Amino acid sequence: SIIWPPPRLPPFPYTPLFRSEGLAPLRDGTGTPIAGVATAFAGGRLLTVLPAETVAAVSAAFSQLGKPYLVDRDGPDGYSCAGLTSTVWTQAGIGLTSDLAQQWAQGTPVPVGQLQVGDLVFSTDPRTGLDDVGLYLGGSSVLSASADRWQVAVRDVVDLSAAVRVTVPPASPAAPPAAATGVPPTCSAPLPAPGTTAGPVSGAWGGWSNGQIPREELCSIGGGHRLRCDAAAAYNAMSAAYAAAFGTPLCITDSYRSLSAQVDAHHRKPRITAVPGTSNHGWALAVDLCGGVNVFGTAQTAWMQGHAGDYGWVHPDWAQADGQNPEPWHWEYGSLT
């Protein structure tokens, strides 16, 4: 059991030491004290006592349930994964930046068998290194702002082996569980395995109609362009990898296209645009690119053909050089109908 709220502890900020009467260190199965957690007897039961900062951080995170996942945001209208953990722990009195590597470095690594509520649990990906983070709740439950849920939610995490406790500052930062790659984290955007694509599937999502998705449901990728948030995270990661190869990020001319914009585009270019209300641009899952990707046979197009699938982006068959309507510039997130 956990005492919630905890007994009175020193006010914020403070070094998390348990000085209250009747408290003793919590010990693991080998008898080793678990740093940052205490125990107390109450009503004939041994209870776990968490620091007041932990209680405040977890409570603050629960209060944000349902807020949308937004790339590189730390509230109040939406959050990235690291933005949520940064905000709730900072509000609780322990300042964290919104950088995953720095969050890892500020805590002491915790073995799976010693995890406690509020510990930061990280996910890793070979393409990005540290990729996601949330607050441990018990069992396999983690509260996070992850791209695969599009919102702040409680999700099951199978691998809990990468975790730190920020109420126990390390004597020296531990090496992260995955090396940085230079590609930005995606907050668990559902990327297919390299060289594979799933589908084709309908682009419809969220109960919205094509071209009538509220702006606040989408995430910015810069320059006024917006996509569904998981697609945006994947696009940003792909653009960063492209920039590492060519020195500049991807050049983009079009992304989400509202119904009225589809009508206008179809009026001006009826031969090469979809019937309004049917375009995958209207699902915020398609982009039109420039800067060399708009021409077949360039180094930029070759890079996209070789690497876009690693980030979930697909050049549809109809847009190939030998397709029904060749468009080297048009790419979609996933294999869509």
Residue 252 sits in the same domain as residue 132: no
Whether residue 111 lies inside any domain: the answer is yes
**Structure tokens of 56?**
């405040």
Please say whether the beta carbons of 313 and 235 come within 8 A. Answer: yes
Residue 131 sits in the same domain as residue 56: yes
Whether residue 307 lies inside any domain: the answer is yes
Whether residue 209 lies inside any domain: the answer is no
CA distance 308 to 197: 11
The domain boundary, picked from 165, 193, 223, lies at: 165
Please say whether the beta carbons of 288 and 169 come within 8 A. Answer: no
Residue located via tokens 């260190």: 25
Whether residue 137 lies inside any domain: the answer is yes
Whether residue 243 lies inside any domain: the answer is yes
The domain boundary, picked from 165, 181, 205, lies at: 165
pLDDT in tens, 286-322: 999 999 999 999 999 999 999 998 888 999 999 999 9
Whether residue 98 lies inside any domain: the answer is yes
pLDDT value, residue 179: 77
pLDDT value, residue 177: 86
**CATH number of the domain encompassing residue 253:** 3.30.1380.10
Residue 225 sits in the same domain as residue 94: no
Residue 158 sits in the same domain as residue 35: yes
pLDDT value, residue 232: 87
Residue 109 sits in the same domain as residue 23: yes
The domain boundary, picked from 146, 165, 184, lies at: 165
What's the number of domains the chain is made of? Answer: 2
Neighbours of 164 (CB within 10 A): 24
Residue 156 sits in the same domain as residue 267: no
Residue located via tokens 């419809």: 204
pLDDT value, residue 38: 66
Q: What is the mean pLDDT of each run of 10 residues along the chain (337 residues)?
A: 42 37 63 67 72 90 89 85 96 93 93 90 88 94 88 92 90 83 78 53 83 88 89 88 96 96 92 90 96 97 94 92 95 87
Residue 150 sits in the same domain as residue 17: yes
- Write the CA distances from 205 to 8, 54, 60, 141, integer angstroms: 47, 36, 29, 25
> Cα angle at 331 between 232 and 131, to 5 degrees?
30
pLDDT in tens, 111-122: 988 898 999 999
Closest CA to 229 of 181, 190, 279, 282: 190
Whether residue 180 lies inside any domain: the answer is no
Whether residue 90 lies inside any domain: the answer is yes
Residue 135 sits in the same domain as residue 12: yes
Residue 126 sits in the same domain as residue 24: yes
Residue 246 sits in the same domain as residue 151: no
DSSP secondary structure of 277-336: T--GGGGT-EEEEETTTTSTTSHHHHHHHHHGGGGTEE--GGGSTTSSS--TTEEEES-B
> Cα angle at 148 between 282 and 83, to 5 degrees?
105
Residue 32 sits in the same domain as residue 95: yes
Rounded to whole angstroms, the maximal C-alpha distance in the chain is: 78
Residue 96 sits in the same domain as residue 228: no
**CATH number of the domain encompassing residue 137:** 3.90.1720.10
> Domain limits at 323?
215-333
